[in-house]
Amino acid sequence: MTILTAATAAPQILPPKTLADAKIRLTYCTYLSDPENPTIAELNAGIDLSQRVLKADYRLSATASETVDDQAALSDESNPVVLGPSNYEGLISIFRWFDPTHLGRHDTLGDIAFQALKDKGTGGYMVARETGKRFDAAWEATDEVDVYEILTDTPQKPTDNGGFIRRTVPLNPQRAWQNRAVRPAVTSTGGR
């Protein structure tokens, strides 16, 4: 009898890898009833930031967790690392839009992202989908998403003032739910 091991098994043919370009859909929601599993309706009611955020410095992610040191027992031959609270970071640069007929005023539709996040202390949720779907594909139940509860700091002017007018907004994630699934719209049974 032949036993196949990882060394003797035939190599698996994998599909092509997914290119990252134009694959992130980012939505800002002021409210989510269950941040672990946002609904399609909640995401559709949010502000789509995908075309309003600079790719070069976009960052919304977990970072290294806190650690508790010096927790070795007398009998330990090594110094174990004990993981503490998780940490997250978030930063987006939002493009600005101005009314073409009144260049001194913001454009209501184009500048909606900056207007929503321009005040220090603005809370809400950033929901990011980074899958094989394009950024403009509709939300669907079971889409894999990362959800970050955020609290904005004061928007900052970039150090490089060339290119498009934009403002950098520190997001200060408070909590996060990663690798979650979008759920269908909640329906009421209307029962008695």
In whole angstroms, give the CA distance from residue 152 to residue 91.
9
Considering the domain delimited by 24-68+83-181, tell me its CATH architecture.
Beta Barrel (2.40)
Q: Rg of the Cα trace of the chain? A: 22
Mean pLDDT for the chain? Answer: 92
Does position 64 have pLDDT exceeding 90, yes or no?
yes
pTM: 0.87
pLDDT average, residue stretch 106-134? 98
What is the mean pLDDT of the segment spanning 65-79? 88
Of the candidates 135, 129, 131, 128, the one whose C-alpha atom is nearest the C-alpha of residue 18 is 131
Residues 21-55: pLDDT tens digits?
999 999 999 999 999 999 999 999 999 999 999 99
- pLDDT score, position 69: 83
pLDDT at 192: 45
Closest by Cα among 93, 87, 86 to 26:
93
pLDDT at position 189 over 70? no
Instruction: Report the C-alpha gap between 99 and 108 in whole angstroms.
Output: 8
Give me the numbers of helices (H) and strands (E) for the chain, helices first please: 2, 10
Both tokens of 29, joined, read 């929601």
If you search the block for the tokens 């031959």, which residue do you land on?
77
Cα 179 to Cα 134: distance, rounded to the nearest angstrom: 18
Q: By percentage, how much of the chain surpasses pLDDT 90?
A: 79
The SS3 of residue 68 is strand
| Token pair 């027992």 in the structure block, residue | 73
* Per-residue tokens: 126: 């950033």
State yes or no: pLDDT of 190 exceeds 60.
no
Tens of pLDDT, residue by residue over 129-180, are 999 999 999 999 999 999 999 999 999 999 988 999 999 999 999 999 999 9
